[in-house]
Amino acid sequence: MLPLRLVASARTFLLLFFFVAALLGGARAARADDGAVLLRVLGDELPRERLRDRLADELGRPVALSGPEDTGREAPAGGVVTVTYRRSSRELAVTWDGPKRGTVSRVVSAPPDVDGVVRDAAMLAGNLARDEADELYAPPPLPAANDEATPAPPRPAPPPPEASAPAPRETRASKDQDDVTAGLFYPLATNMARPWARTRFDLNLLHGRVGQLDGFQLGGVNVVARAGGRGTGDVNGIQLATLANVATGQVGGLQLASAVNVAGAGLEGWQTALAVNRAGGDVTGVQTALGLNTTSGRMTGLQLASLNVAGDVAGAQIGVINVGRNVSGAMIGLVNVADDVDGVPIGLASVSKSGGVHPQAWTSTATYANLGIKLATKHTYTMPSAHYHRAYDRDFAGAGFTIGGHIPLRGDRLGPYVDTDLSFAFLYAPERSAQRLPSGLVDTYHEHLVQPRVRAIFGWRFVEHFGLFAGASVLLQARVLRDGDEAVLRVGPEFVAGVEL
């Protein structure tokens, strides 16, 4: 009996082993099919943690944020969601890369607010993951044909032999097309009842309006705008106005006016006006004005005016005041303001968020007490300053200006750095000096110190607004006597040390 019991026990053990192995294999397969999803966020900044949580709720699965360590790794079994957001073009792209469907992408218009972008991105990613995106974006299928319920339509009777073919119906496009329009002051114009008309040539004395321009428009105030649900407001050609050009759509070409040019949806071309050029979207080209150039989108090209305002800039801004976000190129003006400048800002005051505004206080062997305001971008700075010095038995006070370059040695805003600059200071002695002339008369005058110098500074920024620095310079000092009739020159080293906030 014992051998039979052992055989039965071994058989029972093998059945239990295969049953447990099958359960474990099924659980592993289920986990692989329903594993964690990897989330990658590209483009402009989005609240990554909020997007991750919203996506996890949408998918009903755990979601992990991608980091630098995920570069080059094989995609996880649960799939990869890539969200790309472009604020300037209002574009939202979502890509799903899963084990079943492969890679599927959708690109939609982004909502104006960040919360809406997070909501739409999570919903679209969920639809792609569940293979529902095609149902959402495709038109509903036509109902199935039912031969018994729906009889076939009767064939039309042939026309009588003597009946002539009817004249073709006039389409909306032909109604909306006027090759030439003219007027005095709209609506006193040939397109009075059709403000949406598309024209190749429009001539007006005071004010004209059309729906789309594919050619040339000349007048006092030229307007291209949508009306009555028709027209595009786009300009492809040239607008010349004695006062203003206004297009509510995209402008591709030239706008030239004495006062104002407006391209509502963006510009690819050239705007020139005495007062204001305005673009409501991206600009690729040139804006020139005496007063103001402004665009709410990206500027690729040149802005030349007293005041230039843009979003991101790839090119140059030249004016009295220049304002941009992320600038790649040149900013040339008295005042340059940006979030970040990757290029050359030239001006009396150039400041960016990546550089900041930093007060400085220092002493040197040539000027005992000095205060300055360092206006910095990532790699350049300017600094107006005030100075005090005691020499030649009298007090000197004055002002100066510095322009220089900044080199971070650790690649970020904190830690060691090297500054090199060129500065100029002018100091004045309030106490008058006296000198007896050969004639016996006494001549009195104020002395001046003129101090151009080249400096090399080594500093260490411990926190955002505290650092120490020291360095040396080559100083050329001119002591001016007798109201400029005499000057004593001295060239030598100068040593400097101070604090930067």
Look at 169-183, 189-203, 276-290, 401-415 and tell me which has the smallest mean pLDDT. 169-183
Q: Are 480 and 445 in contact (CB under 8 A)?
A: no
CA pair distance 285, 270, nearest whole angstrom: 6
Amino acid 286: pLDDT = 96
Q: What angle separates helix 114-129 from helix 48-59, to the nearest 10 degrees?
A: 40
Question: For position 175, what pLDDT does the model report?
Answer: 59
Segment 277-297 shows an average pLDDT of 94
* Residue among 467, 449, 447 at smallest CA distance from 459: 467
For residues 140 and 417, the model is more confident at 417
Q: Give the CATH number of domain 356-500; options: 3.10.20, 1.10.155, 2.40.160, 3.30.70.
A: 2.40.160
Would the pLDDT of 89 be above 60? Answer: yes
Mean pLDDT over residues 350-362, rounded?
86
pLDDT of residue 176: 73
pTM of the model: 0.58
Segment 141-146 mean pLDDT: 47
Compute the CA torsion angle 349, 353, 357, 358 (nearest 10 deg).
Answer: -130
In this prediction, residue 70 carries a pLDDT of 61
**pLDDT at 229 > cutoff 80:** no
In the structure, what pLDDT confidence band is assigned to residue 306 with cuts at 50, 70 and 90? Answer: very high
Tell me the pLDDT band of 485, cut-offs 50, 70 and 90: confident
Q: Please tell me the least confidently modeled range out of 74-88, 391-405, 471-485.
A: 74-88
| Residue 297: pLDDT over 80 | yes
Average pLDDT, stretch 425-449? 80
CATH 3.30.160 spans which residues of the chain? 37-137
Residue 267 is predicted with a pLDDT of: 94
181 or 127, greater pLDDT: 181
Where does 411-447 show beta strands of DSSP type E? 415-428, 433-436, 442-445
pLDDT digits (tens, 9 = 90+) for 4-31: 443 344 455 444 554 444 444 444 433 3
Residue 116 has pLDDT above 70, yes or no: yes
Distances (CA, A) of 401 to 109, 250, 383, 454: 49, 45, 6, 12
Each residue of 308-338: pLDDT tens digit? 999 999 999 999 999 999 999 889 999 999 8
* Mean pLDDT of the region 185-212: 92
**pLDDT tens digits, residue range 399-436?**
999 988 888 888 777 889 999 999 999 998 888 877 77
Tokens representing 390 are 């005691």
* More confident position, 217 or 349: 217
For CATH 2.40.160, list the domain ranges present in the chain.
Answer: 356-500
Class in CATH terms, 37-137: alpha beta
Burial group, residue 104, by CB count within 10 angstroms (0-12, 13-18, 19+): middle
> What's the rounded Cα separation, in Å, for the pair 32 and 11?
32
Greatest CA span in the chain, whole angstroms? Answer: 148
Q: Averaged over 62-88, what is the pLDDT?
A: 76
Predicted confidence (pLDDT) at residue 300 exceeds the cutoff of 90: yes
Q: Check pLDDT > 90 for residue 235.
A: yes
For the record, the structure tokens of 227 come out as 């009306």
Task: Say whether the peptide bond before residue 187 is cis (omega within 30 degrees of 0).
Answer: yes
Q: Token pair for residue 10?
A: 């071994």
Q: Looking at residues 277-289, what average pLDDT do you find?
A: 94
For 182-196, what is the mean pLDDT? 91
| Residue 500: burial class (beta carbons within 10 Å; 0-12, 13-18, 19+) | buried
Per-residue pLDDT, 37: 84
> Does the structure show a pLDDT above 60 at 500?
yes
pLDDT tens-digit profile of 53-70? 888 888 888 888 887 656
The string of pLDDT tens digits covering residues 192-203 is 888 888 999 999
Whether the CB-CB separation of 342 and 331 falls below 8 Å is answered with no
Q: Tell the residue number behind the tokens 């071309």, with chain if given.
A: 269
